[in-house]
Amino acid sequence: MIRRAEPADAAALSRLGRRTFSETFGHLYPPADLAAFLAEAHSQAFYAAALADPGQAAWIAEAGGEAAGYALAGACALPHPDVTPGCGELKRLYVLQGRRNGGLGGALAAAALDWLAAPGRRLWVGVWSQNLGAQRLYARLGFEKAGEYLFPVGQARDQEFILRR
């Protein structure tokens, strides 16, 4: 089941965000960089602010009695010259490792993209250059590569692809 997240879900999103990011990418970073990133980018305060912002929205996928994934969407903040204030971005899309490849990611993406969709609105997403599975999903959803940038995780910098549709 996928449902729209509410302000009371900030703590659950923080836990889920920390867990899914660590499962997916934690092995790539020195422990101090990972800890610093998680403390800032996946804090309960971050999610509380996102859920309180009418320009952002989140969805939670629940499976087997637990929160198994989530998506976060809002105004685009990617560093690309074609991004305008009217653009939308799928900011985060994560599913627990044991729940991947069962359609939850696609369903979460669809919910977020449907919410973002408006006539003439360009949609964007950033994806790690080595995350081939996510890139395949975004290609199926009509996204194409439009640029690259460096994404900070603590002191580390990852090459990210900027995709748009």
pLDDT in tens, 42-57: 999 999 999 999 999 9
Q: Tell me, what's the pLDDT at 102?
A: 78
Residues 6+ apart with CB under 8 A from 72: 50, 56, 57, 58, 90, 91, 92, 93, 112
Region 107-113 average pLDDT: 96
Task: Give Cα 15 to chain centroid, integer Å.
Answer: 14
Fold of 2-164: Aminopeptidase (3.40.630)
In which order are the strands placed within the sheet that holds 144-153? Answer: 2-4, 57-63, 66-75, 88-95, 123-128, 156-164, 144-153
